Amino acid sequence: MKLVRVAASGTGFVVDSGGVASVVESTSLVGQFEGVLGDTVGRLFGSGTDSWMPLIAQWPSIRSALTDTVGKVQADLDQGFNRFGARPLDDVVLDPPLPDPGSRIFAAGGNFPAHAAGMASKTEQVASGAQSAPPWGFFVIPGTVVGHGAIVTPPDGTEKLDYEAEVAVVLGGGEHSPGSDQIAVWGYTAWNDFSIRDEALGLRQIDHGPLTWSLTKNFRTGNACGPWLVVDEGDVSDLRIRCLVNGRVRQDGKTSQMQNSFGRMAGHISRYVPIGGGDIILSGTPDGTAMEGGINGPFLQNGDEIGVLVDGISELRNVVRTPIRPAP
């Protein structure tokens, strides 16, 4: 199942033809939700800002009914009808498919060895180290995340803006067992971790302490995800990740190349912080980022269109706008 958040319209799902149908309207027309279950659907999908956290918690009891609804909408379209009011994906404005506006997002750093090696040669930032070293990373602030089609605008004065194609995994179930590498995956989506590299390249000082890392990763519009969340297809061990800038491939890797799996990341984090259903873990990015080319690397410029492609998900596209300065 592919879930989206349609701006100002609530939760929808994507059918094979590329159409987006409202969950509430579709289930109402199918007529299969009555009584207690009907009330449950109304509570879960009543407005565009509703959290998906209750849906994750109740997923085992509601998944089959929702899957059946998607099948009925698809069959209706295959027969040449559109009685459920599906709209083309490109005709709707999509918000980021985060489980909740306050979702906790844990990002892996230096998690693809080739990327880590390329970065270490250009900056003094910490590299990932040996396989025995613990995972490392940073937090993403949910309010910095935008959806498919959104404009990305870095802070004034930014000179070196980078792209980082990633996979975001949403945990399912209840609280994760502390220290366990075994995870319940509820869904996954494509992610672009836009990163300011000015500080790392010595072009300017952003902060006097560790806040620098957070600011360069969490500026307004600094993260993008979508277009949809693939739900209930839990194998994320070998997903292909690509990044295209103006149609040309810059990155091409697989989650099987991750030094630390999603499970190992969850196991490490959960030793310190309780995590569980609705929490998000980012994969880290493959090699091919602009930073690996040093100060004259192919950093993003005004008007560039960046696409991220992950298996099972339509291309996540975003455009960069000023005030990025032109390359020297």
Q: Render pLDDT for 2-39 as a digit per residue (tens, 0 to 9).
A: 999 999 888 999 998 789 999 888 877 776 555 555 56
Tokens 């979508």 — which residue?
226
* Phi, psi for residue 87 in degrees, rounded to 5: -115, 150
**Residue-wise pLDDT tens digits, 193-207:** 999 999 999 999 988
**Closest among 217, 246, 215 to 320, alpha carbons compared:** 246
Predicted pLDDT at 328: 55
Predicted pLDDT at 39: 63
Predicted pLDDT at 270: 97
| Sequential DSSP letters for 104-157 | -EEEESS-SHHHHHHHHTT--SPP---TTSPP-EEEE-GGGEE-TT-EE-PPTT
**How is residue 198 written in tokens?**
């000015």
292: left (phi over 0), alpha (psi -120 to 50) or beta: alpha
Question: For the chain, where are the E strands, in sequence order?
Answer: 2-6, 10-14, 19-22, 87-88, 94-95, 105-108, 137-140, 145-146, 151-152, 161-162, 165-171, 185-193, 195-196, 223-231, 240-245, 248-254, 280-282, 305-310, 316-320
pTM of the model: 0.92
Predicted pLDDT at 126: 45
Spans of all domains in the chain: 2-91, 96-320
Structurally, at CATH architecture level, domain 96-320 sits in: Alpha-Beta Complex (3.90)
| Percent over 90 (pLDDT), the chain | 72
**Closest among 72, 83, 99 to 4, alpha carbons compared:** 99
The stretches in the chain having pLDDT less than 50 are 125-129
Predicted pLDDT at 128: 45
Predicted pLDDT at 127: 47
**Residue-wise pLDDT tens digits, 250-268:** 999 999 999 999 999 999 9
Predicted pLDDT at 325: 67
